[in-house]
Homo-oligomer: A and B are copies of this chain.
Amino acid sequence: MSASKSTGRVVALCGGVGGAKLAFGLERLLGNDLTLIVNTGDDFEHLGLKVSPDIDTVLYTLSGLANRELGWGRQDESWNFMKALSTLGGETWFQLGDRDLAIHVERTRRLRTGETLSAITSSFAAHFGIAAQVLPMSDDRISTAVVTSEGVLPFQRYFVERRCAPRIDSIHFERSVRARASSEVLSALGDPQLTAIIVCPSNPFLSIDPILSVPGIRAAIKKSSAPVVVVSPIIGGKAVKGPTDKIMTELGVPRTSKAIAEHYLDLIDGLIIDHSDEQEREIAGCAVRTASSLMNTDEDRVRLAGEALDFARHLVSTPQRQFGG
């Protein structure tokens, strides 16, 4: 792990659970040399509170507060607020734990005073003792909407309330064309000291594409001389998280490493695939490294993060991008 000190600055793009696990490993290795650009397309207002699911998953995961059993929210959570809300006839399809509620109430309060989501997130990260810079992809509101067999659904309605049941036709990032990347995001990606851009094993369509939809971010990644390493969310021909699998099928995307590589066509320099997908090594269409990419323990997370960083160093020494760049 001491090797990390020579790694220089690294940017990682990530969404929720799977991405946050790799982010945890990267932060252990890089500390404040890491900048995370986090999807906010899932953000929505619920019960009058501004909820930022992926930012919270990243903050909770990096600070060791995440609920590993549920895969969302905080550990050792209590649910007395929801029970009382139910008695009052309030909406209960989206569960907010008593401890978790604090971040939504405080974020909402601070946003209403005019603070940016970036400033608030940075303050929360500091209070949680997180060394990495955690940045929302934009301070402007972008909302992921899913065009389904049952009409257009806001992401959380599709994902949580409907449990991904409706068939997906396409995905939109509302207002993204008018959104701006924050100066912090552009400055992190434009840093000449940047040595790697890691795309975490998040859902490419729902977690990473919203980030890439923010005007300026894709161009900044392409402009950077740092190699882009994608950690595939596919293991053994399946997505680790159930919904990604179903969504890829419905969007007509094969659950292969090649499809992941092609998805990031003009950005990718290297792809990390799981050992179980070894047979795809040659057909992915870009530099490929195999690794154990299932992250059950903290050690798994740190090890995979180390692989990604080492791979990026290797790509620097052999700068031959397979696609675009």
Seen from chain A, the residues whose Cβ lies within 8 Å of a Cβ on chain B are 47-49, 74, 77-78, 80-85, 87-90, 97-103, 105-106, 108-109, 112, 123-124, 127-128
Contacts and interface: CB of A to CB of B under 8 A. Distances in A.
Q: In the complex this chain forms, how many copies of it are found?
A: 2
A127 B87 contact: yes
Nearest to A79: B98
Contacts of A108: 48
Nearest to A106: B90
A80 B98 contact: yes
A42 to B, nearest CB: 20
Chain A interface main SS type: helix
A49 B112 CA distance: 11
Given A48-B112, A88-B124, A83 B105 contact: no
A99 B84 contact: yes
Contacts of A84: 74, 98-103
Contacts of A77: 80
A89 B47 contact: no
A49 to B, nearest CB: 7
Residue from the set A74, A87, A97 with the largest chain B CB neighbour count within 10 Å? A87
Given A48-B108, A48-B109, A109-B47, A103 B88 contact: yes
Residue from the set A83, A89, A90, A102 with the largest chain B CB neighbour count within 10 Å? A102
A98 B127 contact: no
Residue from the set A74, A82, A109 with the largest chain B CB neighbour count within 10 Å? A109
A138 B236 CA distance: 64
Contacts of A109: 47-48, 90
A117 to B, nearest CB: 14
B127 A99 contact: no
A46 to B, nearest CB: 9
Contact of A88 (B48, B78, B127): B127
A88 B88 CA distance: 28
A244 B71 CA distance: 51
A156 B121 CA distance: 29
Contact of A80 (B78, B82, B87): B78
